[in-house]
Each structure stands twice: as C-alpha cells, then as structure tokens.
C-alpha cells in the first residue's frame, strides 16, 4: 500500500504497440458513450481518464502523457455537443501530471495506483469544472461527497484496467 | 538554451493548453452557428459510431432470435388481453371521435390552422456522449436519410429532444433534459405557457411561469408549438413539484413523459403540415354499433332480382345508404369507404355497394351477410362518393372489382370501374344484391315514383 519514492534509474519505462495505442483509447471512448445508455450507473465512471492515467504512468514521459491525454480528451469532446477542449484540457493536465509523478513514484502496485487514480480524478474534475464555468459559462454544481465517491469507484475500476494494460505494455 | 531544455516539458504543456484554450474561446464565441470544429466531430463520430452500430446490430439480432423464436411463453394470454384492450379502446375511440368532430367543426368555423405530423422516420439510438454535461444521444439516421437540423424527435410517450448535429449516417439528438435545451410548453388545464429547460443534474424544470399563478402538481405539460420545432399538443411530462422561486417566477419540476435514460427507438418528425381544420363529414361511429358487432349475425337469405333493390330505385338516399348491419357501417368507415349517413353533394352520383343497397330495397329481408363480410374486409371493393374533375362520378379507392351496378331507370348495366377507371373484370359469381346507381341530390319526396 505504500507509495515508495524511487530514483530515475530504478523506474522502468514501457511502451505500447501502435494498434494498442490506437485501439485502447478508441474502445474506451466508445464504451464510455455506449455503456451508460444500457447501464445508467456507468455515468460515474470515466474510462478515457483511466486509460490516460494508465498510459501516462506506464510510459513515464510527460510529453507523451500530455499528448495522449489531450487527444483522448478531444476525441471525447468531439462526441458531445459542448465546445471541444473541455475534456481535452483536463486530460492534458492529467496526462502530464500522471507521467511526471510516474517518474518519481513507484506506481506498479495496486495501492499506489488506487490512490493515484483518486488524486487525478479529482484534479480532472476540478480543471473541468473551472473551464466549464469560467470559459464556457455552463451551470455546474460542485459536490465533494459526489466527487470523492466517484473517485473511489473510478480508482477501483482503474486498478483492474491497469492490470489489463500491464498485459499489453512492452518493456523498452 | 539550457533553460529551454530544462523546462521543455513545461513549455510544451503550456503551449498545448494555450492552444486548446484559444480554440475553446473561438468555439464559445461562434457557438451560435454550431458548426465550429465540425471536421473533428465528423472524424470522431465516424470512428466511434460504426462500433456502436455493430454492437447494436449484434444485440438486436440475438435479442430478436431469443424473443421471436424461443421466449414465447405467455403469448396466448397476452394476445387475449390485447384483444380485450382493443375492444375497450374502440369504444373509447368512438366516444373521443365525437369530441374530435365537434372540435374540428369549431376550428373550421374559426379558420384555425393546425399542425399535423405528416411524416416521421423511425430511428434507433446507438450511443450517447458519455458526459453528464452533454445529455444527448446518437441515432442511426443522418443526412442520407433526409434528417435535418432542428427536427423534433419523439417517442410514443412524448417528446425527447431535437436534432442538433447531422452527419452522413448518424445524428446527434439534444435531449430535453440538457441544460442548453429549451422547449415552448403549455400546461394542459391552466393553459399557462412557459419554457422547459434541463438542468446540470439532468432534471427538467418549467421556467417563466409567474409566481402568482397556481399550478397543481400532476398537471400535464404539452408542447405549445411556440418554439417552431415541436408541433403543438405533444405530451412533454407531468408537474411533480411546485415551489416559489427567489425571483418573480415559480420553480416547477417536471417529470418527462418519455424515459430519457432508457431510449432505444425514437421517431424523427421529418415533415409537419400546417393546414386549416376541416369538419369531418363522415358519420361518427357509435359505441352501440361497435357493441352490436358482437351479436350473432343472421344467416344470409338469397335475394332474388325481383326482391332486389332495382325495383325501388327511388328510395330515399339516406335510407339507401343505411348499412345492412352496424358492422357494415363500421367497416365502411374504418376502411375509408362509403359514408352512408351523409348524402353526397349535389351534382354527384353515388354508387352504392350491394351490401348497403340490398337490405333497404328488400324491405325487411335479412341482411346479406356475405356481402357485408365482403365489405368489412379491408380489401373489399370500397366505393366512395365523389366526382372527378369533369364532374363525372368517380370511384375512389376501389381495390377489387365492384359488382356491376344496374341503372334502375334504364335497366342497363354500366361497365364496372376499378381504381384507374378502366373497366374492371367481370366477377366470377354474381352477387345476390344488385347494386344501384342513384342520384342522391333528388330528395325522396320529389321523386316521381
């Protein structure tokens, strides 16, 4: 459960194949759009965010993380009728932060991943809330209990997804 | 250079964020046309919707096989229940049609223009947006199917939204519970008008109703037609909570009639006609006629030509047009056939089917049930009063050859006509009740006979 501080030499950097890099985010965005229609409770999950965190922590490259997060976010935005960039900016920040933290911390164990996901879920929601209210002028209500609860649910699902991503990542 | 190299990641991050914020600002400024960043949306939709369509196809196919071939338990009982329900609804329809006729007459007097949904297109919901801030769904119909922006989307329960973006084979439908949607509505009984809006939490509220008005909980909310998208009178929802707001208006919560969280099939209103109401000249179906259908029918008695209607061609038109049985009246109307109760306009000849002419002429003879049954069948030779442009008698909607009509004055048999007005083939077996051609504009008392 402990998050251990590791030196740069100790962390391993992984990469993903091109099909996995394209298909996994696409599948995540597709499932995020499709599943809530059949199972309404699924709206609390954010699969593209979990994939962004998973990719960023495995690659441990801030640039790769921010671009991956930005592209996944823009793809997610493009399916909505809201201006493109709301999810894009939020996930860019998360991708950069997760990969930067992945360099400093050992995020290979489930406990660290769980806590990291809660943290970045909240960061994502805060950035999204600020942009939606400040830039786009949407009416949104902020509720800490709801955000923490959703963060825990996403973290639980995230641990499973990261385990699946571990199977397709390749050591550099 | 060292500084650039050291903070390279941060500089790139700031650059990417700045670009996105700039793009966002441009889109927000151009939000009125809704076409900003259209290309990115097209790419995204083209990448995701084929997967959604494929998954829906698999789901529907497997579900269809299960429901249509394996899981048929209780179908007989359900069928019986549905038949009873149809009976009940036919009686209800008969009652309501009286009210509707009256309303149409009044509307015609007031030169009232109504909006009618004249064309709809069924579509399937294939996906959502996955965002709680964007309450909208994708349907599997797009510009190639004739879908256009701002078309109304409804279900059998009520309205659900409007078409926001149209792509080649899909469209994005903005639901009424999205915070950017707005629908002009009217309360059913109090006739108060307002605007229906969604909230960020997905609830639906009715705005712009003054706080000094009284709105009862449970009142039905209908579309007012004021938004130019939804035709007037479509069900929207029910008032669930009313409270006084902080400003001059009431806070009214509305529960949508359609379940917006479980949408599968929807109807896109592709054409709305606006036309002036016309009074319905057809005789209304009475409930007693429907109930009489259940009575046992008298077996047919073959009518001889001597007893036929031809002997008394001058019978009053209203009497001649009376149906052989209440069932015949119903069948004639339900299939859009002869309208027995109202005589045709002056100058028009009426061709009456044997089933309607025979009983009156045979003076108490039992109804020709064979002929009646033929008339009740949906594909029977339906004849409607009317004239062609030249003023000649016209036969409308005749799908099977009518029995030959004998002119009682001359005793000749004119050629039967079909849908196209061409001579129809001679029937294989002659019907027992000969048809008569009448001049209904002649009142009975003026008839020389």
pLDDT tens, position by position, B213-241: 888 899 999 998 888 888 888 899 999 99
B8 has pLDDT over 50: yes
Closest CA to B11 of A98, A103, A123, A96: A96
Whole-angstrom Cα distance, residue B242 to residue B210? 12
Q: Which residue has the higher pLDDT, B14 or B325?
A: B14
Sign of CA dihedral B406, B407, B413, B414: negative
Q: Which residue has the tokens 């659900």?
A: B160
pLDDT band at B365 (very low <50, low <70, confident <90, very high): very low
Instruction: Render the burial of B218-231: b for 16+ CB within 10 Å, e for the rest.
Output: ebbbbbbbebebbb
Q: Please tell me the predicted confidence (pLDDT) of residue B443.
A: 42
Selecting from A78, A93, A140 the residue whose C-beta is nearest the C-beta of B41 gives: A78
Q: Please tell me the predicted confidence (pLDDT) of residue B6.
A: 78
Whole-angstrom Cα distance, residue B301 to residue B358? 11
Q: Please tell me the predicted confidence (pLDDT) of residue B36.
A: 57
Mean pLDDT value across chain B: 69
What is the edge-to-edge ordering of all strands in the sheet holding B435-438? B350-352, B435-438, B405-406
As beta bridge partners, residue B197 has B182, B205
Q: Please tell me the predicted confidence (pLDDT) of residue B303.
A: 60
Residue ranges per structural domain of chain A: 14-171
Contact between B40 and A93 using a beta-carbon 8 Å cutoff: no
Contact between B127 and A80 using a beta-carbon 8 Å cutoff: no
Q: Render pLDDT for B80-97 as a digit per residue (tens, 0 to 9).
A: 899 889 988 888 888 888
Contacts of residue A137 in chain B, CB cutoff 8 Å? 28
- How many CA atoms are closer than 13 Å to the CA of A67, on its beta-carbon side? 8
Closest chain A CA to residue B163: A81
Tell me the whole-structure pTM to 2 decimals.
0.62
Supply the ipTM of this predicted assembly: 0.82
- DSSP 8-state code for residue B6: H
Contacts of residue B170 in chain A, CB cutoff 8 Å? none
> What number of C-beta contacts closer than 8 Å exist between A and B?
143
Whole-angstrom Cα distance, residue B405 to residue B387? 17
Contact between B13 and A96 using a beta-carbon 8 Å cutoff: yes
Q: Please tell me the predicted confidence (pLDDT) of residue B34.
A: 52
Whole-angstrom Cα distance, residue B326 to residue B347? 28
Q: Please tell me the predicted confidence (pLDDT) of residue B279.
A: 61
- B141 neighbors B268 (Cβ within 8 angstroms): yes
Beta pairing, strands B405-406 & A14-16: unpaired
Instruction: Considering the domain delimited by B113-276, tell me its CATH architecture.
Output: Beta Barrel (2.40)
Q: Which residue has the higher pLDDT, B387 or B411?
A: B411
Measured between alpha carbons, how far is residue B121 from residues A112, B127, B155, B270, B447 in Å?
52, 18, 11, 7, 53
pLDDT band at B111 (very low <50, low <70, confident <90, very high): low
Sign of CA dihedral B255, B260, B262, B268: positive
| Long-range contacts (CB closer than 8 Å, 24 or more residues apart) made by B408-416 | B408/B309, B408/B310, B408/B311, B408/B313, B408/B436, B408/B437, B409/B313, B411/B310
Q: Which residue has the higher pLDDT, B257 or B428?
A: B257
Q: Render pLDDT for B289-341 as a digit per residue (tens, 0 to 9).
A: 776 776 666 666 666 555 444 444 444 444 444 444 433 333 333 333 334 44
Whole-angstrom Cα distance, residue B153 to residue B267? 6
Q: Show the tokens assigned to B277.
A: 């109401």
Of all residues in chain B, the percent with pLDDT exceeding 90 is 16
Please work out, in degrees rounded to the nearest 5, the angle formed at the alpha carbon of residue B196 by the alpha carbons of B35 and B172.
Answer: 30
Residues of chain A with confidence (pLDDT) below 70 = 1-11
As beta bridge partners, residue B351 has B437
Q: Show the tokens assigned to B420.
A: 């196209």
Q: Please tell me the predicted confidence (pLDDT) of residue B321.
A: 40
- DSSP 8-state code for residue B231: P
Contact between A138 and B52 using a beta-carbon 8 Å cutoff: no
Measured between alpha carbons, how far is residue A123 from residues A55, A119, A126, B376, B435 in Å?
17, 6, 5, 71, 85
pLDDT band at B275 (very low <50, low <70, confident <90, very high): low
What distance in Å separates residue B247's CA from the closest CA in chain A?
18
Closest chain B CA to residue A100: B9
In 3-state terms, what secondary structure has residue B292? helix
Residue ranges per structural domain of chain B: 113-276, 281-444
End-to-end CA distance of chain B: 118
Residue A103 main-chain phi, psi, to 5 deg: -70, -35
Whole-angstrom Cα distance, residue B209 to residue B186? 10
Q: Please tell me the predicted confidence (pLDDT) of residue B300.
A: 66
Closest CA to B139 of B164, B103, B115: B164
- A146 neighbors A112 (Cβ within 8 angstroms): no
In 3-state terms, what secondary structure has residue B218? coil
As beta bridge partners, residue B74 has none
Q: Please tell me the predicted confidence (pLDDT) of residue A53.
A: 94
Residues in chain A: 172
pLDDT band at B208 (very low <50, low <70, confident <90, very high): confident
Q: Please tell me the predicted confidence (pLDDT) of residue B247.
A: 79
Contacts of residue B128 in chain A, CB cutoff 8 Å? 33-34, 36-37
Contacts of residue A29 in chain B, CB cutoff 8 Å? 48, 130
Q: Render pLDDT for B120-171 as a digit per residue (tens, 0 to 9).
A: 898 989 888 888 888 999 999 999 999 999 999 998 888 999 999 999 889 9
Q: Which residues contact B411 (CB under 8 A, 6 or more apart)?
A: B310
- Classified by CATH at the fold level, domain A14-171 comes out as Arp2/3 complex 21 kDa subunit ARPC3 (1.10.1760)
Write out the E strands in B396-444. Answer: 405-406, 435-438
Q: Show the tokens assigned to B253.
A: 């919560």
Q: Please tell me the predicted confidence (pLDDT) of residue B285.
A: 64
Residues in chain B: 449
Whole-angstrom Cα distance, residue A10 to residue A2? 17
Q: Is A89 on the interface with B (CB under 8 A)?
A: yes
Q: Is A41 on the interface with B (CB under 8 A)?
A: no
Q: Helices in chain A by DSSP H: which ranges?
A: 18-38, 47-59, 62-79, 86-104, 110-131, 144-168
Q: CB-based burial of residue B138 (10 Å sphere; 0-12 exposed, 13-18 middle, 19+ buried)?
A: buried
* Average pLDDT rounded to a whole number, residues B353-358: 38
Q: Please tell me the predicted confidence (pLDDT) of residue B112.
A: 61
Closest CA to A63 of A92, A89, A90: A92
Q: Which residue has the tokens 């027992």?
A: B432
Selecting from A33, A85, A87 the residue whose C-beta is nearest the C-beta of B48 gives: A33
Instruction: Render the burial of A97-116: b for 16+ CB within 10 Å, e for the rest.
Output: bbbbbbbebebbeeebbbeb
Contacts of residue A70 in chain B, CB cutoff 8 Å? 16, 20
Q: Render pLDDT for B395-437 as a digit per residue (tens, 0 to 9).
A: 344 434 444 444 444 444 444 433 334 444 444 444 434 343 3
Closest chain A CA to residue B36: A83
Q: Which residue has the higher pLDDT, B299 or B385?
A: B299
């Amino acid at each position: 459960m402990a998050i251990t501080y590791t030196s740069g030499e100790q962390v391993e950097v992984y990469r993903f194949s091109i099909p996995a890099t394209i298909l996994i985010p696409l599948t995540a965005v597709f499932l995020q759009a499709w599943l809530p229609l059949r199972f309404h409770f699924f709206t609390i999950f954010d699969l593209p965010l979990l994939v962004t965190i998973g990719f960023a922590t495995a690659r441990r490259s801030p640039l790769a993380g921010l671009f991956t997060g930005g592209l996944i976010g823009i793809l997610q935005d493009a399916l909505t009728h809201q201006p493109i960039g709301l999810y894009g900016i939020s996930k860019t920040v998360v991708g950069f932060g997760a990969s930067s933290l992945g360099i400093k911390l050992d995020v290979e164990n489930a406990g660290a991943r769980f806590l990291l996901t809660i943290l970045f879920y909240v960061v994502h929601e805060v950035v999204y809330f600020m942009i939606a209210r400040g830039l786009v002028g949407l009416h949104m209500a902020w509720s800490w209990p709801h955000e923490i609860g959703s963060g825990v649910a996403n973290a639980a699902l995230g641990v499973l997804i990261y385990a699946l991503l571990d199977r397709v990542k390749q050591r550099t | 250079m060292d500084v650039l190299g050291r903070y390279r990641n941060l500089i790139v991050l700031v650059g990417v964020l700045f670009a996105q914020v700039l793009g966002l600002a441009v889109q927000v400024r151009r939000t009125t046309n809704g076409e900003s960043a259209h290309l990115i949306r097209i790419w995204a939709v083209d990448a995701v919707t084929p997967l959604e369509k494929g998954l829906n196809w698999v789901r529907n196919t497997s579900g269809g096989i299960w429901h249509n071939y394996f899981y048929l338990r209780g179908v007989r009982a359900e069928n019986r229940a549905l038949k009873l329900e149809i009976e009940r609804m036919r009686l209800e329809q008969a009652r309501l049609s009286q009210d509707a006729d009256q309303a149409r007459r009044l509307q015609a007097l007031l030169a009232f223009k109504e909006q009618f949904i004249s064309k709809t297109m069924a579509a399937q919901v294939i996906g959502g947006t996955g965002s709680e801030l964007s309450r909208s769904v994708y349907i599997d119909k797009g510009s190639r199917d004739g879908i256009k922006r701002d078309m109304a989307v409804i279900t059998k329960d009520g309205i659900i939204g409007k078409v926001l973006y149209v792509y080649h084979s899909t469209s994005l439908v903005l639901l009424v519970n999205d915070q950017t949607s707005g629908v002009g509505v009217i309360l059913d009984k109090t006739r108060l008008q307002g605007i229906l809006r969604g909230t960020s939490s997905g609830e639906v509220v009715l705005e712009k109703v003054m706080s000094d008005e009284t709105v009862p909980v449970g009142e039905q909310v209908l579309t007012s037609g004021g938004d130019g998208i939804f035709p007037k009178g479509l069900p929207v929802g029910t008032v669930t909570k009313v409270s006084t707001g902080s400003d001059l208006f009431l806070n009214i919560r509305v529960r949508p009639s359609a379940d917006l969280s479980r949408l599968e099939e929807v109807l896109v209103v592709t054409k709305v006609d606006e036309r002036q109401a016309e009074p319905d000249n057809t005789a209304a179906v009475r409930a007693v006629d429907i109930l009489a259908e259940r009575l046992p029918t008298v077996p047919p008695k073959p009518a001889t030509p001597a007893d036929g209607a031809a002997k008394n061609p001058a019978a009053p038109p209203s009497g001649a047009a009376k149906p052989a049985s209440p069932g015949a009246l119903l069948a004639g109307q339900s299939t859009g056939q002869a309208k027995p109760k109202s005589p045709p306009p002056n100058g028009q000849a009426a061709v009456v089917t044997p089933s309607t002419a025979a009983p009156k002429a045979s003076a108490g003879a039992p109804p020709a049930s064979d002929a009646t049954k033929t008339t009740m069948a949906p594909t029977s030779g339906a004849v409607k009063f009317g004239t062609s442009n030249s003023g000649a008698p016209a036969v409308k909607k005749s799908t099977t050859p009518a029995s030959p009509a004998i002119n009682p004055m001359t005793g000749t048999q004119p050629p039967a006509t079909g849908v196209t007005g061409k001579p129809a083939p001679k029937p294989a077996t002659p019907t027992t009740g000969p048809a008569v051609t009448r001049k209904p504009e002649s009142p009975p008392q003026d008839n020389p006979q």
